[in-house]
Amino acid sequence: MLFEEFDPLKGEMLQILDKNGNIVNDKLVPKIKKETLMKMYKTMVLGRIADVKAVQFQRQGRMLTYAPNHGQEAAQLGSIAAMDDDDWLVLAFRELNAMLYKGVTLEQSYLYWYGNEMGSKYDENVKVLPINVPIGSQINHAAGIAYASKLKGTKEVTIAYIGDGGTSHGEFHEGMSFAAAYDLPMIVVIQNNQWAISTPRKKAIKSKTLAQKAIGYGIPGIQVDGNDPLAMYLAVEKARERASKGEGPTLIEAVTYRMGPHTTSDNPKLYREDKEVDEWAKKDPLIRFKKYLIDKKYWSNKKDEELQEASKKEVLEAFKKVEKTGLVDLEDIFKYTYEKLTPNLKKQLNAYKEYLNEEGAK
């Protein structure tokens, strides 16, 4: 069993594809359909460009605060690709790639970071919860979804994401305890990107690995090279098998790196060295994934150039549409408070409209 083979207490980390794109663990290469691999890769390219562009748009004053994903693409895509279409995705806030893979559109994602609630209204059949900013709290939502799946006897499994810093939060602990107690069909992926804003993972958390936190809950935990899409896929595939068989949740630590700032309001130069960033740049998930696909004859440099161009266009078009959305209608800030507008809210809305009528728009 994979989870016995890689003991987080011994500091063993699952890796299949090394930073140069070479297979280092032949017998563990997961069987992934070409179609799936290509969807992963295309999403990764789109995700990377969308991310870099979002930061640029923000710098130009065209986008609000944005939380970059740069460097963490494989941690998300390797994991989400091993899930079924019918599974649930529960987000923290730095999972653009997993969202795109699961059917959230780029336009919706951009709209959210553009400051419009409509960006969290995903299409009807997309089983993704909105971005969840309060650290740790999403783990409890995931546990509830998984409990319902189990009670209803569906085949759904829930995958939830959290950051390294988030594993210190009480809500993480409560959610894990809950999920473990009832053997819930749930997978938690920790994107250990080494930083929680300015606080280094090593300084805030005493345990040697984050995966070993699983031991306290009585569930398996595994540390995975988060920049290796194949290793992430394998770990989640196995975790999903466990979940499906009613064996309960699994905790997966994806070891990766936040190449960009925490958000566009953050200046990492205040607290970390360029040298560290440069070291991680060499472990870029895109580089190794592309090489793997070319080695497999699934892909070529020429096709890659075309994909880069097409993705850039897609990104620019999505953002152009978002920029046309303008401001949110007054009614919209009221009408989702309850199912129906209460008399009190009606009164407040009407009084404000009267003001606008008399004094003109704000």
Asked if 208 touches other proteins (CB under 8 A), the answer is no
- By CB under 8 A, what part of segment 80-119 binds other proteins? 114-117
Asked if 316 touches other proteins (CB under 8 A), the answer is no
Residue of 70, 141, 201, 258 marked catalytic: 258
Q: Please give the Cα distance from 75 to 98 (Å, whole number).
A: 9
**Whether residue 217 lies in the annotated active site:** no
Q: For residue 93, how many other CB atoms are within 10 A of its CB? A: 19
CA 351-356-362 angle, to 5 degrees, is 125
Which residue, among 240, 192, 225, has the nearest Cα to 23 in the 3D structure? Answer: 225
- By CB under 5 A, what part of segment 195-214 binds Mg ion? 196
Q: Which residues pair with 160 in a beta bridge?
A: 90, 188
**Whether residue 240 lies in the annotated active site:** no
**Of positions 273, 274, 279, 332, contacts other proteins by CB under 8 A:** 332
**Whether residue 173 lies in the annotated active site:** no
C-beta of 9 vs 333, nearer to other proteins: 333
- By CB under 6 A, what part of segment 259-278 binds ligand TPP? 262
Residue of 48, 141, 262, 288 marked catalytic: 262
Single-letter code of the amino acid located at 288 = R
**Of positions 80, 135, 142, 236, contacts ligand TPP by CB under 6 A:** 135
Report the residue number whose CB is nearest to ligand TPP.
163
**Of positions 164, 225, 228, 284, contacts Mg ion by CB under 5 A:** 164
Residue of 271, 336, 352, 355 marked catalytic: 271
**Of positions 51, 73, 95, 164, contacts ligand TPP by CB under 6 A:** 164
Pairing of the two strands 158-163 and 88-90: parallel
Pairing of the two strands 195-196 and 186-192: unpaired
Asked if 328 touches other proteins (CB under 8 A), the answer is yes
Strand order in the sheet with 13-14: 13-14, 221-225, 250-255, 186-192, 158-163, 88-90
320-323 contact pairs (CB < 8 A, 24+): 321/107, 322/107, 322/110, 322/111, 322/114, 323/62, 323/114
| DSSP-based three-state secondary structure for 128 | strand
C-beta of 46 vs 135, nearer to other proteins: 135
C-beta of 276 vs 304, nearer to ligand TPP: 276
How many of the chain's residues bind other proteins (CB under 8 A)?
48
Task: Tell me the closest approach of the beta carbon of residue 163 to Mg ion, in angstroms.
Answer: 4
Q: Please give the Cα distance from 148 to 143 (Å, whole number).
A: 9
Q: Please give the Cα distance from 300 to 303 (Å, whole number).
A: 5
Q: Which residues pair with 225 in a beta bridge?
A: 255
| DSSP-based three-state secondary structure for 333 | helix
Asked if 203 touches other proteins (CB under 8 A), the answer is yes
Residues tagged active-site: 258, 262, 271
Positions that interact with ligand TPP (CB under 6 A): 94, 133-135, 163-166, 191, 193, 195-197, 258, 262
Positions that interact with Mg ion (CB under 5 A): 163-165, 193, 196
